[in-house]
Amino acid sequence: MSRSSPSLVLVLLSVGLQAAPHDPWVRIRSANFELFTTAGERTGRDLIHYLEQVHSFFQQAFALDGTASLPVRIVSFRFDKEYLPYRPIEVATAFFEPGVEHDYIVMKNPSTDLYPTAIHEYTHLLLRQTRLEVPPWLNEGLAELYSSLEADGSKIVVGKVIPGRIRTLARDPWIDLRALVSAGANSPLYSQKGRAEMFYAESWALVHMLTLDERYSPKLRAMMDSLKDGDSVAAFQKAYGKPIAKVQEDLKAWFDGSRFNAAVFDVQLPAEEEEPRIEAGSAMLARLALAELLSNDRTRLDQALAAYKALSHDYENRWEIEQGWAEFLARERRNSEALPHFVRAAGLGSNDPRMYVKYARVLNLSNRTGDAAEALKTAVRLDPALDDAHFELALTLVRTGSYREALAEFHAVKHLGPENAFRYFYNLAEAHYRLGDIAQARLLIEKGRSQTHNPEQIAALNTLRQLLDK
């Protein structure tokens, strides 16, 4: 683990010291984004409006269903010196950082010149959230294609030529297409600075053709399905009935032409998305977001800890800070250190039901099941629709022997991810068994068996079944 960066700690402390006389941070929340910026309300409004247009485009063009799996936070700075402590590499003017609580896009500044970079990163974010496994050429090609989105009133134009990529394609020798589409994440074609420029340019060109050329676009969905087998060369042959050499010939001709296709989409912004909520003087919340951002990077955990300590010094007795600090320590499995911060967050009046679920998990790991049940009951009171709270409370009540109460909580769960299916059926079966409903317990054991291939879980089900048979 690296040592804390003195320069970063000084930046964080200096922001805290200046918070009282002048707080430059503005928080802007829209339907799908939370933006923190030091560049002022007007530029922040422009940026978040543009992002909402892009989000609506992706929703409508690709029939994306529902909201993102994680909330998306944008951080944009006014000055380079504010951005420098957070950039992952020297040349990055914007970057995407996946997280546990939020996904982040961080920008050097909110200038319209950086909008393409932000959308490039947002495309990566969407691909990750949809859990599509795509090869590097498609991942970067899609991000490049959509980075050039241009809003024109209620319309979005897709496929505008990127001058820098055109210059690269005209100036440098092309990569053999078989090598391009076969390159993995560690390939020098993709990862080495001197060769990556052509990789990006040719990937953009290929996706541009597949998306907008009338010979290729109708079969793009079939191409995506074929890629699930993991062989891009074979996918081209299967989807288009063409060998990769013929695809490369078509690609060269596509970019040797005198004009290029583009697509225009009407974007409908729902009325509730048009007016974002503006909060000036948001330094504390912005710094909490930045501390969380640092905690997502395994090489910056010491810096994240320093950020939470600085926040606690600058803003005393705030439950938001105690909660953020506690959740960071819990993610790092430093449960004995996390507990006092959870206690303080609750005592200071935290009204976040998800915090009480995380608090309860740490209490359960510390064998304090009674306290965990009380924390989970608080979570349920704060948000009766929170499935995680009902599920964790049901499991905890089984552990404490409150089986009838547990059944009520199990039945309150409306939606449950497949990762929790075994625990749901096993514990529900145990509750029915302890209450004497042997027939129902047998049915639930078989349902649990259909949800797992894990030998330990199957053994646990077999043990419970043996108890029923006795």
The helix or strand, by DSSP H or E, that contains position 439, with its residue range, turns out to be helix 438-449
> By three-state DSSP, how is residue 219 classified?
helix
Q: How far apart are CA 25 and CA 13, in angstroms?
A: 15
Residue 407 identity: L
What percentage of the chain's residues is helix, strand, coil (to nearest 5)?
65, 10, 30
For residue 253, give both structure tokens: 């001709």
* The pLDDT value given to residue 227: 86
> By three-state DSSP, how is residue 157 classified?
strand
Three-state DSSP string of 27-86? EEECCCEEEEECCCHHHHHHHHHHHHHHHHHHHHHHCCCCCCCCCEEEEECCCHHHHHHH
Distance in angstroms between the alpha carbons of the first and the last residue of the chain: 53
Radius of gyration in angstroms for the set of CA atoms belonging to the chain, rounded to a whole number: 26
Question: pLDDT digit of tens for each residue in the chain (470 aa)?
Answer: 334 444 434 343 344 444 445 799 999 999 889 999 999 999 999 999 888 888 888 877 666 555 556 789 999 999 989 999 998 877 788 888 989 899 999 998 878 888 888 888 888 888 877 776 789 999 999 999 988 888 777 778 888 888 899 899 989 999 999 999 999 888 888 877 778 899 999 999 999 999 888 889 899 888 888 888 778 999 999 999 999 999 999 999 888 765 667 777 776 665 555 688 999 999 999 999 999 999 999 999 999 999 999 999 999 999 999 999 999 999 999 999 999 999 999 999 999 999 999 999 999 999 999 999 999 999 999 999 999 999 999 999 999 999 999 999 999 999 988 899 999 999 999 999 999 999 999 999 999 999 999 999 999 999 999 998 87
The helix or strand, by DSSP H or E, that contains position 378, with its residue range, turns out to be helix 369-382
Spatial neighbors of 392 by CB under 8 A, at least 6 apart, are 357, 360, 361, 372, 376
Residue 266, strand partner residues: 155
Q: How far apart are CA 18 and CA 24, in angstroms?
A: 9
For residue 404, give both structure tokens: 């009838």
Q: How far apart are CA 249 and CA 274, in angstroms?
A: 45
Q: How far apart are CA 274 and CA 293, in angstroms?
A: 27
Residue 157, strand partner residues: 150, 264
> By three-state DSSP, how is residue 350 classified?
coil
Q: How far apart are CA 372 and CA 362, in angstroms?
A: 8
* The pLDDT value given to residue 269: 61
Spatial neighbors of 418 by CB under 8 A, at least 6 apart, are 451
Residue 94, strand partner residues: 107
Q: How far apart are CA 4 and CA 200, in angstroms?
A: 35
* The pLDDT value given to residue 3: 41
Residue pair 129/69 in contact (Cβ under 8 Å)? The answer is yes
Q: How far apart are CA 399 and CA 369, in angstroms?
A: 7
Tokens 């809003």 sit at which residue? 151
Q: How far apart are CA 448 and CA 433, in angstroms?
A: 14
Task: Return the DSSP state at 150.
Answer: E
Q: How far apart are CA 423 and CA 461, in angstroms?
A: 10
Q: How far apart are CA 361 and CA 368, in angstroms?
A: 10
* The pLDDT value given to residue 153: 73
Spatial neighbors of 234 by CB under 8 A, at least 6 apart, are 226
Spatial neighbors of 74 by CB under 8 A, at least 6 apart, are 33, 34, 35, 36, 37, 47, 48, 51, 104, 105, 106, 107, 118
